[in-house]
Structure 1
Amino acid sequence: MKGSILKIVFISIFSLVSSFVSYGQIVDLDSDNPYKKVFVDTDDFDASYLTVLEESWDKVKDDTIGLSMLNDLAYYWHTRNLNTSLAFAKKGLILSAYKNNPLWEGRFQITLGSILLRMEKLDSAFIVLKDAKNKVKEEDLAFLNTQLGYVFERRGELDKAADYALESLRLGEKLHDKKAIALAYSDLSNIFWKQSKFEKGLEYGLKSISIFEKRGIKDLDYDFTLYVVGNNYLELGKYEEALAYYNRSIEMGEQYGFYNNLSDVYISLVDLNVYLKQFEAAESAGAYAVKYAELLENNFMIMRSWLSIGKLQNLEGKSKEAIQSLQKSIKVATQDFGDEYYLSQAYEALGVAFAATQAYEEAYQAFIKYDKLKDSIFTAEADQRISHLQTEFDVALKESTIKLQETELAQQSTRQTIIIVIASFLLLFVLVLYKSYQNNKKKNALLERQNKEKEFLLKEIHHRVKNNLEIVSSLLALQSAQLTDANVVNVMQESQNRVQSMSMIHQKLYQGTNLSTIEMKGYFNNLGTHVLDSFGMEEQVNLTCEMQALELDVDTAIPLGLIVNELLTNALKYAFPDNRKGEVKLALEQKDKELLCLEVSDNGIGQSMNEKIGETGFGMRLVSLLCQQLQGKMNRMMKDGTSISFEFKIEHHNS
């Protein structure tokens, strides 16, 4: 409990610091809707909401919105301090009268009545509320009736209080006002609790909680209902359930600064801790109850707080202290106090305290007053009236259920008709879909057949290109066989290899499953084997391809094949003289989506011995041109042989 009060102190100290955060959540003067009504449109703010309303209500240009903000300011100040609340309510009455606005004058009268009854000015509250009834709209009457019910509840006339609660319930159901329905159930729960009908009180309280939870807005009445449900659980001896609801009420009260509800809950926690034999905790709860009641300047709460402390002291055997506490309680309850229910409890507890100190005459007088007050509250007539009202309500609820069922049957018939119509449309739609599916199936079959034909034709074209290139290669071979000049023969052989490298590309295409790409590792292995064989050096030079499987498009593969062909040819011609054995390595790697790296290296005698040929020969010029075609860069390194590497940008061709 110390932690709880520390939270309240923290909120009070820093409310001004945090008010700018709440300001934007409740009030935005530049918006078309400058005010999100507290506890209706939003509860997303902290305990500084009263400061926000006070600073901004008179800055709003729209009179209706400004009066609404001022009315909320007046009403919710009664959760902190009744006198401050009263001042704002009177200001609202004067302003609405000045603006000749009877509707808002009536609404401020409802707020004023709710404040006066909490100040125990029950007669004044009743007069003000009755006068407001002819000024406000039907949507305001449920809340007005709730306040009138509180007047009679405080007077101990529980039957009349129940009348007003049921009227609020009827209005709430008529207007589909969930808040009014929840509040009516809450009031009935409280009335049944005072009548000691705790099972019925719990039933209505839980109904109220259910509606509040579905509504999704935390507010003063939701907080109060948690407290009332806890009271019913307490009287039924279900202490854990009672404590759970009290703790929820305290958490909400601390969040928004509902001092009146906090005082209520701490009074009940005195009783709960007494039942649990935790007297120290009960004393602490009593102290907090008094503290919040005095902050409110609410005599009703102060009286009840001292009453709870006096009853606790009786149980602790502190009879003299109990007499002092109970006399404080009764002193606060002046002649106009009005709430005979709690006053009767105060005289009963005082009689017990006097008897314990052997002051029997004083005890006798206290018990006489207790009996008189109790008889005025729990009369047979009142009990009969509440039972009759309960019966009326149960019958009305059954009639409402029957009407609801009839409405549901009519709606069900309408739904069935709609379902039949929709089902007919769906059936027609399915038939159209099926017909469309059949047509698409035929089209897809035709397209698949055409695609297979195109694929066959493409493969046939690549096959014929490969055959034509083979013929060109054979012609070159026949021509070179008739030549005697060694240099010319070498040129013819190199040309033959170039043609063969392109021929292999087309062979890979028509033999593979993909007509647009070439698997380069297999292609390089075949190309390397062919070049070695053409030079007769397959036993002298070992060729390795150090690369992963990699597929490239034709436009990239053909230039790469020609480059590798030229570099292999150069290596075999110049790197391994005098039948020297050696090794040639090919490496191709795609480093990212845009970059391709090629390297051809050998461990031969190095470039220095044939630098002129390497620089000026047709093969290297061809390599240079092909490198430019692929937008590449070429680098050479002479160490332990020759290594030539390339970096090419990959162009992505749309298929």
Structure 2
Amino acid sequence: MERAILKLIMTLLLSFVNNTISYGQIFDFDREPPYNQIFVDTDNFGISYLDELEEGLSSITNDTIKLKVINDLAYYWHTRNLNTALEFSKKGILLAERLGNTQWEGRLLVTQGAILLRMENLNVAEQQLEAAKTKVIKEDLPFLNTQLGYVFERRGDLGKAADYAMETLRLGEALNDKWAQAQGYSDLSNLFWKQSKFKIGLKNGLTSVNLFKERGITDLDYGFALYVVGNNYLGLEDYTSALKYYEQSIVIGQRYGFYNNLADVYISLIDLYSFLGKFNKGEQATSSAIKYSQLLDNQFLLMRSWLSQGKLQNLQGKYISAIESLEQCLSIATDEFGDVFYLSQAYEALGKAHAGNHNYQEAYSAFEEYDKLEKEIFTAEADQRISLLQTQFEVAQKENTIQLQETKLKQQNTRQVFMVITIALSMMFLGFGYMAIKANRKKNKKLQEQNKEKEYLIKEVHHRVKNNLEIVSSLLALQASHLENSKLTFSLQEIQNRVYSMSMIHQRLYQDRNIAAIDMGDYFSDLGTHVLESFGAEERININYKIQNISLDMDTAVPIGLIVNELLTNSFKYAFPNNMNGTIGLFMQLENTRLIVLQVADNGVGQSKEEHEKTKGFGKQLIDLLVQQLGGKLTYEHTNNGTKAILKFSRIQP
């Protein structure tokens, strides 16, 4: 007990000492100027810095410094409470107008625009930012352009957002402003991440982080840059690196109380832990994301928190809970929400949740909305615009370097004319060599881009085919629900399973990195689970999988999937009558480098060879046709302990 009390006293004492030291670092009224501006002159303070700014405000007599402190209070309060931030911005604008200080009026309008856009008032925010353009000086434009970029990013206009990010970058180069340069690269990294261009997004993000390090100030935007780098690593499935950058961002957010950055990071951590299958940690991250979003009263972050929770619940198979979370997410996203990127993700996740819960009509509606939103955000125009801006900036940087070299050469002493001429000639030859190398690189880059574009188009085709097949499957399910004839209903269910087995092939091809082949282990596992659920046999029949690491091309995988679907269906129909319990084994292995053996065996009531040969149904005819298509051989073993189907066929290397 005494030890606990002593520990508490020491904690309070250290807190008091830290606060005292921090206050002294921000304000010193015996020096000129008395304000050591936060995140510009110093970052050596803790989470109580906003209270210290407010306390020091009453002692400031210089109007310009007072406006500077009010502006900092307004901007950094937006990381904790948007309403408080808005009140400070209004107070500062009124003071600047009364003093006739146009420059500070403009700066406070920019700050107010930054607050309003995070309060979902995008149109008013844009108006305030545009009004500020005529009032601020050139050095303030990078911050203004950054906020305008966020407005258009929230509206889903990524091309326009990229224009502003590049303008911030150009101004940063011209003004030698490391913050502006770092911020421009950070925003470009975020935009490339949204377009799933994770490699170039990571390159820009790491450049931003290095520039923030050179600047030597740990601030809000540095924390956001770390978060964006983590997102790109997550997109590249480098989970260890992603977690490292997220943790660094969390340290900054907790030190200074940046609730907005903390909410962002915890939302991404939900996705990271989902991919790793660490659902308990994902749920803990969900609680933190929702907590910080609610503290900030930011509907955008709260919507994304519910979205990530819904995606997590989908992966856990908790479809009813996922539907509730995603509907909560969409209820927050009002007509003014604007961000079609996250709205499209929400409808895609909702469609999956409804499909998992067999609500096929609702699933169809959600996927339809998802497709519409996806077309709005992932436009070829936005993609080309962002890539073009990046190229233009890189070319401009090279031209600036050449101009600088030419200026230095002109300043050489006249006695070095011969050396200058020699150097100029050398540079000319180097230039020709450089241009040749550059041309080759440009050709290679163009070929790589064409290959990526073709791969994207192929994946998009598979995506569309999968969606269309799911629509057909949903329509079959809807039709079956309106039939009273059980035999017809069962036939439609069988057709639905066949369509589903084909749709899964296309799903695998557009989701996996390898667009030429399908991993049969994962495919059979998903197919088996679906057939089990369609027969409602999850509680009484178990499927054992023993699948060697085999990948097959699409032309082979489709008939194999249909054959396995028919064999599983036959086992469910005939091997386990009267709700009998049982087991089905699904095995696939290579006997040599080319011959593949597939077995589907059940331990049901069995069927004699004569009974089997008498069967002339559509399913058996379909199997025979598919076996002929594969050039394989199918045999059956009939015993009192079940039936085993053995298919042997030659492998075509994908």
TM-score, normalized by length of structure 1? 0.60
Alignment of 1:63-102 (within 5 A): 63-102=63-102
Partner SS for 1:358: coil
Alignment of 1:333-344 (within 5 A): 333-344=333-344
Q: Give the residue type in structure 2 aligned to 1:176.
A: N
Q: Give the residue type in structure 2 aligned to 1:245.
A: Y
Partner SS for 2:135: coil
Contact kept, 8 Å, 1:165 with 1:187, in 2: the verdict is: yes
Structure 1 CA distance for aligned equivalents of residues 236 and 12 of structure 2? 36
Cα gap change, 1:379 to 1:11, in 2 (>3 Å): farther
| Cα displacement (A) at 1:144 | 0.1
1:265 matched residue in structure 2:
265
Alignment of 1:566-581 (within 5 A): none
Structure 2 CA distance for aligned equivalents of residues 338 and 12 of structure 1? 46
| 1:153 to 2:157 alignment | no
Cα gap change, 1:28 to 1:226, in 2 (>3 Å): same
Cα gap change, 1:211 to 1:408, in 2 (>3 Å): farther
1:423-454 CA-partner distances (Å, limit 9, x unpaired) = xxxxxxxxxxxxxxxxxxxxxxxxxxxxxxxx
| Cα displacement (A) at 1:414 | 6.8
2:132 matched residue in structure 1:
132
Cα gap change, 1:416 to 1:390, in 2 (>3 Å): farther
Q: Give the residue type in structure 2 aligned to 1:367.
A: F
2:232 matched residue in structure 1:
232
1:296-332 CA-partner distances (Å, limit 9, x unpaired) = 0000110111111010000000011111111111111
1:215-266 CA-partner distances (Å, limit 9, x unpaired) = 1110000000000000001111111111111111011111111111011111
Cα gap change, 1:157 to 1:356, in 2 (>3 Å): same
1:40 matched residue in structure 2:
40
Cα gap change, 1:361 to 1:130, in 2 (>3 Å): same
2:395 matched residue in structure 1:
395
Q: Give the residue type in structure 1 aligned to 2:94.
A: I
Cα gap change, 1:273 to 1:141, in 2 (>3 Å): same
1:28-86 CA-partner distances (Å, limit 9, x unpaired) = 12222100111010001111110011111232111101100000000000111111111
Structure 2 CA distance for aligned equivalents of residues 209 and 415 of structure 1? 44
Structure 1 CA distance for aligned equivalents of residues 400 and 274 of structure 2? 43
Partner SS for 1:59: coil
| Cα displacement (A) at 1:171 | 0.8
2:300 matched residue in structure 1:
300
TM-score, normalized by length of structure 2? 0.60
1:320 matched residue in structure 2:
320
2:184 matched residue in structure 1:
184
Unaligned segments of structure 1, at least 5 residues: 1-9, 418-655
Q: Give the residue type in structure 2 aligned to 1:232.
A: N
Structure 2 CA distance for aligned equivalents of residues 415 and 252 of structure 1? 55
1:197 matched residue in structure 2:
197
2:217 matched residue in structure 1:
217
CA RMSD of aligned residues (A): 2.2
Cα gap change, 1:409 to 1:275, in 2 (>3 Å): farther
2:62 matched residue in structure 1:
62
Cα gap change, 1:375 to 1:21, in 2 (>3 Å): same
Q: Give the residue type in structure 2 aligned to 1:255.
A: R
Structure 1 CA distance for aligned equivalents of residues 317 and 185 of structure 2? 39
| Cα displacement (A) at 1:403 | 2.2
Cα gap change, 1:150 to 1:358, in 2 (>3 Å): same
Q: Give the residue type in structure 2 aligned to 1:110.
A: V
Partner SS for 1:223: helix
1:247 matched residue in structure 2:
247
Aligned residues: 408
1:404 matched residue in structure 2:
404
Structure 1 CA distance for aligned equivalents of residues 150 and 77 of structure 2? 18
Structure 1 CA distance for aligned equivalents of residues 357 and 33 of structure 2? 65
Cα gap change, 1:246 to 1:386, in 2 (>3 Å): same
1:27 matched residue in structure 2:
27
Alignment of 1:580-595 (within 5 A): none
Alignment of 1:12-23 (within 5 A): 18-23=18-23
Partner SS for 2:55: helix
2:289 matched residue in structure 1:
289
Cα gap change, 1:197 to 1:63, in 2 (>3 Å): same
Contact kept, 8 Å, 1:19 with 1:51, in 2: the verdict is: no
Contact kept, 8 Å, 1:22 with 1:45, in 2: the verdict is: yes
Partner SS for 2:58: helix
Cα gap change, 1:14 to 1:345, in 2 (>3 Å): farther
Cα gap change, 1:11 to 1:314, in 2 (>3 Å): farther
| Cα displacement (A) at 1:114 | 0.4
Structure 2 CA distance for aligned equivalents of residues 203 and 300 of structure 1? 27
Instruction: Give the percent of matched residue pairs that are identical in Structure 1 and Structure 2.
Output: 60
1:356-387 CA-partner distances (Å, limit 9, x unpaired) = 11111211111121111111111112112222
Structure 2 CA distance for aligned equivalents of residues 291 and 175 of structure 1? 40
Cα gap change, 1:318 to 1:415, in 2 (>3 Å): farther
Partner SS for 1:43: coil
Contact kept, 8 Å, 1:186 with 1:225, in 2: the verdict is: yes
| Cα displacement (A) at 1:404 | 3.5
Contact kept, 8 Å, 1:57 with 1:67, in 2: the verdict is: no
Cα gap change, 1:390 to 1:366, in 2 (>3 Å): same
Partner SS for 2:208: helix
